[in-house]
Structure 1
Amino acid sequence: MKKYIVLLITISLFFTSCNNSETDYLFEKSINERTAELKSQYTNILTDSENGWIGYYTPNGSVGTTAILFKFDKNGNVVLKSDYDSGNQDRPTTYRIDKTLKIELVFESNTVLHSIYEVNNNDNEGEYVFNIINATADKVLLQSKTDNGYNGQIITELELVPAKASDWDLSTIQAMHSNIQGDPSSPVWRYIAVAGTPIATFSYNSTDRAATFSYTTDGKTTTETVPISVNNTGFCLLKSISINNNTISCFSWNELTKIFENEDINASISYFTKPLAPTDDYLPFLDGNPSIAFGYITSYLGSAPSNSLEANNLLAEINNNLPKGITISRVQLIFNSIYGSYLEYRFAGGKSTEYHNVQVVEDPLNKTIIFQDLGWDSGSTPAVLAKIDAKLMNAAGLYVTRESFTFGGPPNTIYTFTDALTGTFRLTTYAFQ
Structure 2
Amino acid sequence: MKVKKIYKYLMISFGALLLGSCTSTEVDAKFDENATERLSGRKKELNDLLLSSADGWKAVYYTDSTQLGGWTHLFKFLPKGEVDMASDFTKSDGNTDTGIYRSQYEMQMGSTVSLVFTTQNRIHLLSDAGNSPTAALLAKGYLGDFQFYYYGQKNGEIIFRTNRNGHFLRFVKATAQDWTDLAKNKPMIKSLNGDMFSPLFRLMETNDGTATHKFEFDYNTNARFGTAYSLEAGSQEAYDLAFAFTPTGIVSKLPVIVKGQELTNFIYDSATNNFVATGTNGVSATLKFTNAPPTVTDDYKLLLSGKGNPQIVVGYIAANLATAPTTSDYFRYLVSRLNASLAAGQSLSRIQMYFNTAANQTYINYQFVGKTAVNHIVTSSEDPVNKTIILTNLGWATGATAADVALLREIDNELTNPKGLYIKKESFRITYSNPIYTLASASSSFRMTTYQL
Task: Please state which band the TM-score falls in when normalised by the shorter chain.
Answer: 0.7 to 0.9
The alpha-carbon distance between structure 1 residues 180 and 144, as it changes in their structure 2 partners (threshold 3 A), is: same
Per-residue deviation at 1:416? 4.8
Q: Kindly state the Cα deviation for residue 209 of structure 1 after the two structures are TM-superposed.
A: 1.6
Give the corresponding residue for 2:382: 363
1:241 touches 1:247 (CA, 8 Å); kept in 2? yes
AA matched with 2:380: V
Q: 2:414 is paired with a residue of what secondary structure? A: helix
> Is residue 2:50 matched to residue 1:46?
yes
Which consecutive residues of structure 1, in runs of 5 or more, have no partner in the other structure? 148-154
Contact 1:43 1:74 in 2 (8 A): no
- 1:144 to 2:162 alignment: yes
Question: In the alignment, residue 215 of structure 2 is paired with which amino acid?
Answer: T
Preserved CA contact (<8 Å) 2:243 2:250: yes
CA distance in 1, matches of 2:53, 2:14: 56
Do 2:60 and 2:71's aligned partners in 1 also have CA atoms closer than 8 Å? yes
What CA distance in whole angstroms lies between the structure 2 residues aligned with 1:276 and 1:139? 43
Residues 1:331 and 1:36: Cα distance change in structure 2 (over 3 Å)? farther
Q: Does 1:95 align with 2:104?
A: yes
- TM-score, length basis structure 2: 0.70
Alpha-carbon distance between aligned partners in 2 of 1:72 and 1:315, rounded to the nearest angstrom? 50
Asked if the contact 1:65/1:229 (under 8 Å) is kept, the reply is yes
Alpha-carbon distance in 2 for matches of 1:89, 1:408: 39
1:66 partnered with 2:71: yes
Deviation per residue, 1:39-90 (Å, 9 max, x gap):
5543343233210111101222211111111122223332222222263264
Counterparts of 2:126 and 2:341 in 1: how far apart (Å)? 30
1:129 and 2:146 aligned: yes
Q: Which residue of 2 is the match for residue 78 of structure 1?
A: 83
Cα 1:409–1:99, aligned 2, differ >3 Å: closer, same or farther? farther
* Partner of residue 186, structure 2: 174
Aligned partner of 2:14 in structure 1 is: 13
Distance 1:263 1:32 in 2: 52
Match in the other structure for 1:387 = 410
Matches of 2:429 and 2:99, distance apart in 1 = 29
1:32-431 map, 5 Å: 38-60=42-64, 61-85=66-90, 87-88=96-97, 90=99, 92-97=101-106, 98-99=108-109, 103-111=114-122, 113-114=124-125, 117=128, 118-120=131-133, 121-136=138-153, 138-147=156-165, 155-168=166-179, 169-182=181-194, 184=197, 188-192=201-205, 194=207, 198-201=212-215, 203=217, 204-220=219-235, 223-242=238-257, 248-254=263-269, 259-261=274-276, 262-264=278-280, 265-267=282-284, 269=286, 270=288, 272-275=290-293, 277-283=295-301, 288=310, 300-301=323-324, 310=330, 314=334, 321=340, 357=375, 361=380, 363=382, 365=384, 366-371=386-391, 381=404, 386-401=409-424, 416-420=438-442, 422=443, 424-427=444-447, 429=449
CA RMSD for the aligned pairs? 4.8
Residues in 1 aligned to 2:436 and 2:240: alpha-carbon distance in whole angstroms: 18
- How many Å separate the matches in 2 of 1:410 and 1:51? 58
Counterpart CA distance in 1 for 2:62 and 2:45 is 27
User: In the superposition, relative to structure 1, how do residues 18 and 414 fare at CA in structure 2: closer, same or farther (>3 Å)?
Assistant: farther
8 Å Cα contact 1:140-1:159 kept in structure 2? yes
Is the partner of 1:395 in helix, strand or coil? coil
Cα 1:267–1:100 shift into 2, 3 Å: same
Note the C-alpha offset of 1:167: 0.6
More displaced 10-residue stretch of structure 1: 138-147 or 255-264: 255-264
Equivalent-residue separation in structure 2 for 1:426 and 1:418 (angstroms): 6
Cα shift readout 1:289-326 (whole Å, capped 9, x = no counterpart): 5655566868854xx5x77675576577678x579x99
Return the alpha-carbon distance in structure 2 between the equivalents of residues 354 and 410 of structure 1: 27
Kept in 1, the 8 Å contact 2:205–2:213? The answer is yes
CA distance in 1, matches of 2:117, 2:68: 22
The letter for the 1-side match of 2:241 is V
Cα offset for 1:165?
0.8
- CA–CA separation in structure 2 for the residues paired with 1:17 and 1:51: 56
Q: CA deviation at 1:236?
A: 3.2
SS in 1 for 2:103: strand
CA shift, 1:370, in A, is 3.9
Q: Structure 2 CA distance, aligned partners of 1:383 and 1:101?
A: 72
What is the total number of aligned residue pairs between the two structures? 414
Determine the C-alpha separation between the residues in 1 that align with 2:374 and 2:313: 17
